[in-house]
Amino acid sequence: MNSLHFTAESSSNGMVQRDFAVGEVPGVLWSPAPGADRAPLILLAHDGGKHKKHPAMTGRAHRLVTGCGFHVAVIDAPGHGDRPRTARDEREKLALAGARAAGEPVGPIVLRHNAHVAELVVPEWQATLDALQELPEIGTDGQVGFFGVRMGTAIGVPLVAVEPRITAAVFGLHWPDDLAEKAKQITIPIEFAMQWDDEHIPREAGLALFDAFASKEKTLHANAGKQGELPRFEADSAVHFFARHFGRAVTLPA
């Protein structure tokens, strides 16, 4: 088993940021002030083309850490952030840009890319979780959640389907194609976000993926607007969701 090496540490805005590596995989762990009690860990997954410290990640992490006292970890997915790009990654990037420029549907390219990344990164997430749980402030018996939309959902659904340590998850903004069969194996509480007027994912497709989860407790949040208009308050909603399931109080700014 690869253990975790911290490579940098800083502190700002009420949270401690520690860069780490587990084998070849670079990640970042955000935590409450040192010396805080053991706390649940939320695994965040970044979107396709983004990276572990993208503002969407730091923003969500800040609300989870300062609002609830959680630990939050993100790793760079293969071909993203500080990790090398393969010839395949470059081809897919060009294919996506070409489809966008030509006004053609991007769905097939995004789906193919997301499935490929998910296959590579699921075992990396499991190894990262093994290593993170060796830290005394997280622990092997601590609560673990997962939060990722778009490519983060393409990664999270197969991860949660095989990973019993994750007991609550927030997903969203994805097609059911590669994921519905795995979603049927998932029974933990989930919250699922979709955009009612998504220009890429048909409404019926978003509803079908939500429907596929076998979870007794599952909540769909559908907001008016296109895919890029997912409201920021859904990040707060995710904080409340994890707080509810992990028995934590929430202190968020108005």
- Identified binder of a copy of itself from the candidate list 49, 133, 211, 227, rule CB under 8 A: 211
By CB under 8 A, residue 216 contacts a copy of itself? yes
* Piece of 56-64, 102-110, 119-127, 235-243 that binds a copy of itself (CB under 8 A): 235-243
By CB under 8 A, residue 233 contacts a copy of itself? yes
By CB under 8 A, residue 210 contacts a copy of itself? yes
By CB under 8 A, residue 103 contacts a copy of itself? no
| CB proximity list for 84: less than 8 A, separation 6 or greater | none
Structure token pair of residue 4: 């975790």
In whole angstroms, what is the distance from residue 36 CA to residue 7 CA? Answer: 21
Q: How far is the CB of 158 from a copy of itself (least distance, A)?
A: 21
Q: Which is nearer to a copy of itself, 125 or 210 (CB)?
A: 210
Of 139, 156, 163, 128, give the one whose Cα is nearest residue 20.
Answer: 128
Q: Which is nearer to a copy of itself, 164 or 247 (CB)?
A: 247
Q: How far is the CB of 234 from a copy of itself (least distance, A)?
A: 9
**Binding region for a copy of itself (CB under 8 A):** 196, 207, 210-211, 215-225, 231, 233, 236-237, 240, 243-244, 247-250, 252-254
